[in-house]
Chains A and B, each alone.
Chain A
Amino acid sequence: MSRTQATKTGTAELQRLAAAGRWHVIKTVADAKAGHIGGPLSAMDLLVSLYFNELSVDPGNPQDPARDRFILSKGHCAIGLYSVLALRGYFPVEELATFDQGGSRLQGHPDMKLTPGVDSSSGSLGQGLSAGAGMAMAAKQLGTDFHTWVMLGDGELEEGMVWEAVHTARRFKLDNLTAVIDLNGLQQYGWPVSEDDDRFDRSNPWSGVDLSGVFTCFGWNVISIDGHDFDAIHDAFDRVREQRGSGKPTVILAKTTKGKGVSFTEGTYKWHNGIATPEQLASAAAELGQVFEGEAK
């Protein structure tokens, strides 16, 4: 696939890619005996849509100055990004097996100095939007046309530095910057369920807060979608492009399900991270339409 995509990837193919990506996440983490599950799975449909339908990038030339930038600010979901980068052709899918192992290009959190296709290191939460804002400012200053995308988690929005960047992005009229928020409603442990909010098994971190209104008040363009609906995702991307020239950065508030796609990981904080047993791997493979050659012990 070339940098400029003439045709969009169809929904059926995106679904196939997302299922493969989810399988790589759960299998790789199980093999490495370390890593995150819930966040990578909630973000997978968004990541696949970005890399196969939106970002103007060339896996054969990952440092192309004209490429769109993508920052996974929620860096603990690295294995989700690596899986999609591998599917997109930045490196062989087989390399995922080196995840978290000594000497690997695939570190526990994204390292821009090691991994092709990673535009910013991340891991300590809340920093990616500032980095993206700097890239977007530089693009405007240099007169280059690329778009900068930053994915954040809803738990990550608790970091104060994010809101410093939200302010800055509006002040600098960064309509070439888009934040994609993976609103899976859960964090590693998170908030106790309260009387007015019983989402899943822990409380939505933004319960009682009008997040859309907050971004609107900061002067951002806000698009709220189902983050697992490929048509809605593509429509949102189209609207982002239409906002170029408006002087407003855009946030896509994408409502998702933590651990999406595998029945036993969905909707529970307990699969923020976790190591699937061979039985669970067999079950996940079946649900995702993948071949699992390991033996259930």
Chain B
Amino acid sequence: MKAQRDVWGQTLVDLARTDSRVAVVDGDLATSTKADLFADAFPDRFFEIGIAEQNMVGVAFGLSTLGFRPWLSTFGVFLTHRALDPIRMLVSQTGAPVKIAASYSGLLNGSSGKTHQDIEDLAIMRAMPGMTVIAPADAIEAEAAIRWAADHDGPVYLRLARDAVSDIFSPGHAFTPGTVHVLREGNDALLVSTGVQSSRVMDAAALLAEEGIEARVVHVPCLKPVDEAALLSALSGPAPIFTIEEHSIIGGLGGLVSELVTSTTLGKTVTRLGLADAWSESAPNSYLLDKYGLSPARVAGQVRHALADD
């Protein structure tokens, strides 16, 4: 069980040994994102830009036109918000192979509070044409996604969590864009999740099972592209659908699943769990997960309550 940020820096070091295209463009946060591992190993391909996120995106684009495949290193919130316009014009609209490593994503970022909590990133990045949007479940899937992204000739948004969660996947797991993973079978409820929240949802499913409620857990690591047929297949059956994400309930995974379900004749309701159009606050992880309904116990409780109401 490692943190995604730890495997990010180390995986880039491993890749750079044999791939001269790998570079890192940092916004003065390498000690947080763990890009400092790369800086130590490959100082010539580590570009420290300082606290200038728009500029670092422009620089990364410029590097990409000469054959580099640069990885951006800063907190996700500064990329998806402050640097959104350069990402839009220089990266997405040109299809540049710039890799947006959104570190410290979601709610849990070391008690930094709402200024640093990026709970809108999936909605923003999903809406951007040509962007691959990935939210891996654990360190193993993160490493697989990094390896895939490094070889992908186009822009990638990669949502990385600061803190470690229990591993979902086994070493050697390969990432394939669009793939949907059914992590657990059950016919009483359909729990759909993404990113590291999937690990907590697996724990929630275990709690529900103790009460005799069997939930199917569907992990969606790639919000775009997504294998819609596979996702719809995973959502079939009579059980109600819940989406659970460490993100706003607007436009992210809940948006994706709702859009998909309403475009078919599935005829099921989708209950979206996550940040209900509200800013969060500075607090320890356990407090935030509990308050915003994302801890295993709170997820299980909301599902149990909803099933009881039916």
Q: Enumerate chain A interface residues (CB-CB to B < 8 A).
A: 111-113, 119-124, 126-139, 141-142, 144, 160-161, 164-165, 167-168, 171-172
Task: Name the contact of B58 in the complex, choosing from A123, A141, A165 (C-beta under 8 A).
Answer: A165
Task: Name the contact of B62 in the complex, choosing from A126, A135, A167 (C-beta under 8 A).
Answer: A135
Q: Does B68 contact A (CB under 8 A)?
A: yes
Which residues of A have CB within 8 Å of B63?
134-135, 137-138
B109-149 toward A: CB 8 Å interface, digit per residue (1/0)? 00000000000000000000000000000000000000000
- Give Cα A62–Cα B57 distance, bound, in whole angstroms: 25
B165, chain A: closest CB distance, angstroms: 35
Task: Name the contact of B44 in the complex, choosing from A120, A123, A141, A165 (C-beta under 8 A).
Answer: A141
Which residues of B have CB within 8 Å of A130?
54-59, 61-62, 86
B87, chain A: closest CB distance, angstroms: 11
Q: Are B54 and A161 in contact (CB under 8 A)?
A: yes
A172, chain B: closest CB distance, angstroms: 8
Which residues of A have CB within 8 Å of B44?
141
Q: Count B interface residues, CB 8 Å.
A: 29
Q: Are A123 and B89 in contact (CB under 8 A)?
A: yes
Which residue of B has the minimal Cβ distance to A128?
B58
CB-CB under 8 A for A131 and B52, given A121-B94, A123-B89, A161-B86: no
User: 27 A-B contacts, Cβ less than 8 Å apart?
Assistant: A111-B93, A112-B94, A113-B94, A113-B95, A119-B65, A121-B93, A124-B86, A124-B88, A124-B89, A127-B54, A127-B90, A128-B58, A133-B55, A134-B61, A134-B62, A134-B64, A134-B65, A135-B62, A135-B63, A135-B65, A137-B59, A138-B66, A141-B44, A160-B54, A161-B54, A165-B58, A172-B47
CB-CB under 8 A for A138 and B68, given A120-B90, A121-B94: yes
Task: Name the contact of A134 in the complex, choosing from B54, B60, B85 (C-beta under 8 A).
Answer: B60
Which residue of A has the minimal Cβ distance to B52?
A164
Which residues of A have CB within 8 Å of B95?
113
B interface: dominant SS: helix
- Give Cα A70–Cα B305 distance, bound, in whole angstroms: 62
Besides the known contacts A120-B90, A138-B68, 11 further A-B residue pairs in the complex with CB atoms under 8 A apart: A124-B86, A127-B54, A129-B58, A130-B56, A130-B59, A130-B61, A133-B55, A134-B65, A137-B47, A137-B59, A160-B54
- Give Cα A24–Cα B53 distance, bound, in whole angstroms: 38
Which residues of B have CB within 8 Å of A164?
49, 52, 54-55
B216, chain A: closest CB distance, angstroms: 42
A154, chain B: closest CB distance, angstroms: 20
B38-80 toward A: CB 8 Å interface, digit per residue (1/0)? 0000001101011010111111111111111000000000000
B208-220 toward A: CB 8 Å interface, digit per residue (1/0)? 0000000000000
B310, chain A: closest CB distance, angstroms: 49
Which residues of B have CB within 8 Å of A112?
94
B44, chain A: closest CB distance, angstroms: 6
A61, chain B: closest CB distance, angstroms: 16
Which residue of B has the minimal Cβ distance to A133?
B59
- Give Cα A121–Cα B93 distance, bound, in whole angstroms: 8
Which residues of B have CB within 8 Å of A121?
89-90, 93-94
A283, chain B: closest CB distance, angstroms: 37
Q: Are B55 and A124 in contact (CB under 8 A)?
A: no
- Give Cα A130–Cα B63 distance, bound, in whole angstroms: 10
